[in-house]
Structure formats: C-alpha cells, structure tokens
Structure 1
C-alpha cells in the first residue's frame, strides 16, 4: 500500500506547523548578574570589587579585600514577542509577559589564609515564558474541483505554551599569587527545566452534498529537567589603573535528568493512500527518559581602566558550536494507526526532541562616571547573538525553542554608595528583530497536499523588553 505526500504533510505539520518554535531561549547573554555588572552590561571580566567575579572571572576573586560580600539583584521586566503572520495574513503570535527575574544572590566565605577567597552564588541564566495563539478563518480553494467546487470554508487555530527556566549554582575559589596575579576556579551546576506544549486544529468543509469534514488535530507535549556541570577557570592581572582577565569554561558534563514526550495527531478524511480518503491517528507517549543538555566550550576576555572619575570596561566572549543531538532518547515504537497505514514511520523519528547550537561571539562595553564620591552614573551596551542552528528546520522532530534573532541590550542607571553598602537602580532595554524568520504552516495559499504541513514562508519576528533593576550590595568586614 503506497503512502503518498498528503500523510507526510500531516506528520510534518504536526512537528513544525505555524513556526519552528524559538526567543531569547537561544541567547547566552540575555541575563547579566549583580548590580554593577548589570549596569556595565557584563564588561567586568577584567575585574570588579564584588563577588560577581565568581561568574565573570573567578581569578579576580583573589583581589577582593572584603571578608564577606552579599549581593542581591533583581530585574523587573515587561517583554513582548511577535511572530508576524504565524498561520497567514493577520494571524500572528503575540506574547506579552510581565514579571521579575532574580539575577543574583550570593556572598563570600571567610577563610583564615588571606591569599585565598571562597565565594558562592545563585543565578538565573534563563527565565522565559511564551504563550501565543493564532487563528484564521475564511474560504480557500483547497479541495480538488472534481470533489468540491468553489472555495471551501476553513478554520485553523494554533496555540503554543513554553516555560523554560535555568538556575545556576556556583561555588568558587581563588588564590592571589602576588600583588599582580590571581587565579581561580568556579564550579557551575545548572538545573534546567522546560515545559512545552503545542496544539493545532484545522477544519475544512467540502462543498459536497454531505458537507464532508476534512480535519486534522495535533497535540505535542514535552516536559523535562536536566542537571549539568561546567568548570570555569580564570586568571586576572591588575596593576595600577588597569585590570585584565581571561577565562575558559569547559563543555557541560551531564549529571542527571528525566523527561517525557507525547504526540497525538489525528487526520480525518484525508487522501492518505492513493486517491482514497481515509482517517488515521499517529500517537505516542514515552516517559521516564534520561535527558541530555549540552553547553559548549567558551572563552572570555576583558580589560578595565579606572581613571580619577571614569571607569571604562570592555569584554568579549566566544561560544563554540554544538552539533545536533537528542535531548531524550526515544525508543522506536509504532506511531501511525491503523499500523498498516504507514509502518515505516516510528516514534523515534517524529517524537525526537532535538537541539543544536552554532558558534557566537558577543561583545560588551560599559562606562561608569563618578558624579560625586557617593554617586556613580552608568551607561553600557552589548550584543547578544542567537545560537539558533538553521539545520534544525530541515529535519523531523520536535523543536522546543522559539527565537532565531539577535538581541541588543542597553543599560543605564546609578549606584548610591554608603559606608558599607551600595544601592543600584537602573533601566534595562532590549530589542531584536529579523525579516528572515523561517516558519512552516502558512495558510495564505493552501491546498490539500500542504493543508497540514503548510507552506514554508519567510516572515518577520521581533522581541522587545523594558526592565527595572534593583540591586543591593552589602560589604562586611575587611581583611
């Protein structure tokens, strides 16, 4: 029994209808950590006077002269993501979110040897929530004229919900070698969790006597968590007004993780085999699956200069690429029923949850001006290139990311300095867009062969965020 292109359309659409879901979930530098470090856009790899060096450059921890530093910073953000024409003209995805992100909570641990510094921190590298619904109704020429004359009434709706969070737990130590050099190592444990769901319904009413309904329904669900480990080695050099730093971060080592995947697709009265209309279901669910999530090798470098009233810093970071891999290993089981409809199609092909990353290079520059001894003004900017790998668009599988565009961040604010504390207030602005967003599922010019798969189109996507930074740093006893 030969399987024609219509059912392939159903399956492919079930995997990638509407858009190949991606947002700032494919950017490494969306978040920065700590009060001054956020206001400097992360241009502090050369060195800073607080324990954010635990993340940016553990080597610089050795130059801190405080026995204990407590840093807390939170960003309150309003975010907007728009995918234009998600399933056709004027049927777009719009997701607006308002919330807070705890950027850093951490401190230092006092040790007897003053040449050693030990610190800890809790950070949120990723906190992403996307919800979008797109609907299109109208009359289209979909069914062949021999079966249905004229335009067919069509209704299509798609909904996507994605919640992605990462918590980074860091423990690090540094040793000051002499007055100019210090080296350090931070252990980075990242806990990643994601809950993703997508639903799709498409209904076409034929213009025959029975008003035959041609319909398809899709539901996809992915839930998993993963724990991974990386080590960051840093070296710091400081002399007079200059500070310089270099770090290497290892690729991630997976520790543990569990996940589940489910996909259910129903086709009603489609031309699946030869020219006969039949109905079929593709369904599968697998749980208690081991998970893998990869982070690449990265290298960062930075230089900071401190004048009488001005401080300028520049940092850059390179992230290596990651080839395609499966977040969960899917067993090969029957997917399509009746089983003889398409025995060659299995769950291991269509329920794969895939990921990949291309290499990126980011640069940050920050400026601080001392208005008076107790008040500093900051202005900074950074690029945040997307690591989205377009090869994910070419294969079957479930892709649980949303963005593929680059983001640009601008930060500005003030720090008020007291005897043993700093209070920081800032505004955070981020923007990103692309006119080259590849999506599958447009119903602008539908026909029965691509009714479920949809036409691949190039459309626009945009991201915007406006945030408020509130940070507090408390300095305890000096050594």
Structure 2
C-alpha cells in the first residue's frame, strides 16, 4: 500500500508538467484584403465578399454579380518563454511561413436583391517548436547517500501544431435600399498535434553511480469538424453603415483522435526513505472527438466622409465550461497492473478544453490619397480565452500561451476598374511578466525532479508579416454586354 501511495505521487507530479498556449485567441487572423487592412472593423459593410465572414447581412448591398478575392499573409513569428527549464534555459520558437487569409467568390443569382457567396479561410494557424536543456552540478540528494554535488541533466521539448480551415457558404436578401439580412453556414475542420517530452536525471555519488530521475512523454493527435451559423443584419444610409451579427454555438459532428502517455521513474525518493521505480503507459486510438466554439455577438459602425473612412467593431464571445475533447477509456495505466489497479488512464490522459468570455475591439481608418489609391491604418485587441480552471485538472493540457495579443496593420490598395491590389504590413505583439511556468529546474531537488518547480516568469509573442491581396470584380453591365 505504501508503494502504491508513492507511485500515485510520482504519477501526479508527472501529469502536472504543463505549459500554456498561443492557440487561445479568436482574432489572430483577419480575412481578405481591405478587411485585413482594417483589422476587421468592417462589420458595418465592405465592398467584397469577406462579408460572408464578418456580416452576411451586408452581402445584400454588394453591387457585383461576382467577386473573386484571394489574400495571403507571409510572416515571421517568435514566441519566447524565459527560463522554461531553468536559468538561461528558455523556450524560443521562431517560425516562417504563409497563411491563406481568404479564397472565395460570389454566384450570380440574376436577382439583385439576392446574393450568394462562398469562401475558404484559415482562422487558426499556429506552429510552436522549442527545446530547452539544463545541466550542471547541484546539491540535490542528501549527503548521507550522496556526498557533495550531483551531476544533473534535464531536457524539455514541445511541438504544438494547430490549424483550422473554415468553409463558408452564405445567402443574403436585401429588403430595400437600407436593410439587408443574411446567413452564413460555417463548417470548420480543426487539426491538432501536440507532443511533449521531459526528462531529468542525476548521478548519485556512490559506489555504483546510481541513476536517479525519470521521464515523461505526452502525445495528442486529433481532428474535428464542427458547424455554426452566423446571422447578420445590415443597415446602410447615406454615409453610415451599421451591422449586427449573432453566431450560434458550434455543433460537433465528426472527428477522430489518439492520445498517449508514458511515465517512468527510476530510483526516486519522494516519500519516506525508500527509493522506488515505476512505469505507467497507455495509448488509445480511434477516439471520438468533440470541439466547441462559443456563442458570440458582434456589432460595428462604418462612416464615410469625403476622402476618409473610419470603422469601429466589437465582438463578444461567451464562455465555455470545461469539457473532454476525447473520451478516454479507464484502461490499466500502471505496469505491472497488480501494483495499482485503481490508477486508470482516464485520470492521467484526459484532454480537456474550456474558454473564458472575451470582448475584443477593432478600429480601422482609410484615407483616399488619389481616386485609385487608398492608405490604411488599423489595430485590434485579441484577448486570450484561456481558462485557468484547466490548471486545476489532471491530464494533458496542449496549450502554450495565456497572454493577450494586440495587432496592427498598415498598407495601401490600388484600385482599377475591374480589380484591386493590396499590399500591407502586419505586426502583432503580446507580453506578460506573470507567466506560470511548471517544470523549471532553477532550484533542483530530489522532490521536484519529476515536475521541476513552479515559477513566475516572462513570456512574449511577436510577429511581423506581409499582406498580399488581389480582388477581381465582374460588373453587371459588363456581363450583360457580353
């Protein structure tokens, strides 16, 4: 029974090795060309089919039978978590890549009061890879067993890749010159792969150079497809455009995932005076998955005056209670099974998600330098929805950041009769000095070799990107002349 209680302590220590994630934001990506340069402050209305995402009601006011929009962002991202494993042993992840912001168009209905649009977007595209290592001589084990300093070597690595592809299909009806209503059907495919490995070992200063320590490996790999509907209302009159949207909570209708964990402790003294070794491992595949996005409501106003246009938008996202992404079966976890049959996989391998409520604001400004050339400047908040209730549960927590982001955009759009070309610079930043880091070996001791110590440290995110977008218009009168 004593050995079982010690093994429970080992496993709980290991299962709490966590870092938190950048994949906890709703407004990291914006879509299209003009809409991205306005930081999404276009809920009142914009002249392209990005309204499919921002406000389907405003689709009814588009005066083109077909619009094709393509936009991409090319960016460099840097995430830094100071002292992740110990002093001068930080996590640093630098990524270079491209993000498809929108590809879509409209379908000619032959009726100017009805509009149909479609689009493909990437609302989430996050890739984090980092490794930290610490070694040196420390006073870890009591001198009666190991006199002097012990040699320690520890290493922690994380790979976290998360992406979402959104397919949208929307319909809008314009009731009169001022009012239009629309609905967008949003189908989101989410793919998430998370891998974490941690190890910490010391050599005792005894006749056998006894090895003490352990290692942890955690893996999550799943996909999920969910559906939500966005209802939008748009009112436009004179220089004013206003909009209001409601997005339903998502419905998860398919998905498969795999989860695995392996924990091993060697000659570790956690309780009393007895050194013990233990192993716990399981892998479960073909598990049904669930992923949720919340109810949200957004609104905005856009005002045009002479050569200037200004837009203001907000969006509120409701909270989501803690839930299991996968249903892990209570299989045998400890090996051999007779050692602790009451410790099952569902306690240590559960993968959970949750979200706190979030309120974001965007402001965008456009100035017409010439009839065919416009300058843009905009910014938006992007508050994290990370719910700290997840810290209190056991299992695998596959997130990295819990800090707020702020995004800024500037660029130009060159407009021609049938097309427009947009170029822009995108900058994002976020920082916290209160990042809760578990797994640090700043003060290594035998009691914390399996989890390290809990520290408060600094974490930051910076991203610099380049926007390239192209929009092509097919005018009604041109189609009729053909």
TM-score (normalizing by structure 1): 0.97
Q: What is residue 367 of structure 1 aligned with on the other side?
A: 365
CA shift in 2, pair 1:32/1:302, >3 Å: same
Cα offset for 1:245? Answer: 0.2
Q: Deviations over 1:139-160 (max 9, x none)?
A: 2222222211222110000111
Aligned length: 477
What secondary structure, in the 3-state scheme, does the structure 2 residue paired with 1:59 have?
helix
Aligned counterparts of 2:185 and 2:405: Cα–Cα separation in 1: 28
Structure 2 residue 471 is the aligned partner of structure 1 residue 473: yes
Q: What is residue 182 of structure 1 aligned with on the other side?
A: 180
Cα offset for 1:268? Answer: 1.0
Q: What is residue 459 of structure 2 aligned with on the other side?
A: 461
Q: Deviations over 1:196-225 (max 9, x none)?
A: 111112111111111100121221111000
Cα offset for 1:334? Answer: 1.2
Q: What is residue 294 of structure 1 aligned with on the other side?
A: 292
Aligned counterparts of 2:407 and 2:251: Cα–Cα separation in 1: 30
Q: What is residue 446 of structure 2 aligned with on the other side?
A: 448
Q: What is residue 323 of structure 1 aligned with on the other side?
A: 321
Alignment of 1:116-195 (within 5 A): 116-195=114-193
Aligned counterparts of 1:421 and 1:342: Cα–Cα separation in 2: 69
Question: Of 429, 432, 457, which residue of structure 2 is paired with 1:431?
Answer: 429
Q: What is residue 480 of structure 2 aligned with on the other side?
A: none
Q: Deviations over 1:244-278 (max 9, x none)?
A: 00000000000100000011111111236753222
CA contact (8 A) 2:59 2:172 kept: yes
Aligned counterparts of 1:209 and 1:358: Cα–Cα separation in 2: 54
Cα offset for 1:27? Answer: 0.4
Q: What is residue 388 of structure 1 aligned with on the other side?
A: 386
What secondary structure, in the 3-state scheme, does the structure 1 residue paired with 2:447 have?
helix
Q: What is residue 407 of structure 1 aligned with on the other side?
A: 405
What secondary structure, in the 3-state scheme, does the structure 1 residue paired with 2:164 have?
strand
Q: What is residue 21 of structure 1 aligned with on the other side?
A: 20
Aligned counterparts of 2:34 and 2:465: Cα–Cα separation in 1: 16
Give the stretch that moved more between structures: 289-298 or 271-280.
Answer: 271-280
Q: What is residue 303 of structure 2 aligned with on the other side?
A: 305
Q: What is residue 83 of structure 1 aligned with on the other side?
A: 81
Q: What is residue 211 of structure 1 aligned with on the other side?
A: 209
**Cα-Cα RMSD:** 1.3
Cα offset for 1:10? Answer: 3.4
CA contact (8 A) 1:5 1:449 kept: no
What secondary structure, in the 3-state scheme, does the structure 1 residue paired with 2:393 have?
coil
CA contact (8 A) 1:6 1:449 kept: no
Give the stretch that moved more between structures: 89-98 or 196-205.
Answer: 196-205
CA contact (8 A) 1:351 1:398 kept: yes
What secondary structure, in the 3-state scheme, does the structure 1 residue paired with 2:10 have?
helix
CA contact (8 A) 1:11 1:453 kept: no
Q: Deviations over 1:44-83 (max 9, x none)?
A: 0000010000000000000001000000000000000001
CA contact (8 A) 1:185 1:231 kept: yes
Q: Deviations over 1:325-348 (max 9, x none)?
A: 110000001111133433332100
Give the stretch that moved more between structures: 277-286 or 137-146.
Answer: 137-146
CA contact (8 A) 2:214 2:449 kept: no
Structure 2 residue 67 is the aligned partner of structure 1 residue 69: yes
Aligned counterparts of 1:195 and 1:222: Cα–Cα separation in 2: 6
CA shift in 2, pair 1:241/1:5, >3 Å: farther
Q: What is residue 276 of structure 1 aligned with on the other side?
A: 274
Aligned counterparts of 1:477 and 1:324: Cα–Cα separation in 2: 49
What secondary structure, in the 3-state scheme, does the structure 2 residue paired with 1:30 have?
coil
Q: Which runs of 5+ in 2 are unaligned?
A: 478-482
Give the stretch that moved more between structures: 94-103 or 211-220.
Answer: 211-220
Aligned counterparts of 1:26 and 1:420: Cα–Cα separation in 2: 39
Question: Of 312, 315, 321, which residue of structure 2 is paired with 1:314?
Answer: 312
What secondary structure, in the 3-state scheme, does the structure 2 residue paired with 1:86 have?
strand
Q: What is residue 10 of structure 1 aligned with on the other side?
A: 10
TM-score (normalizing by structure 2): 0.97
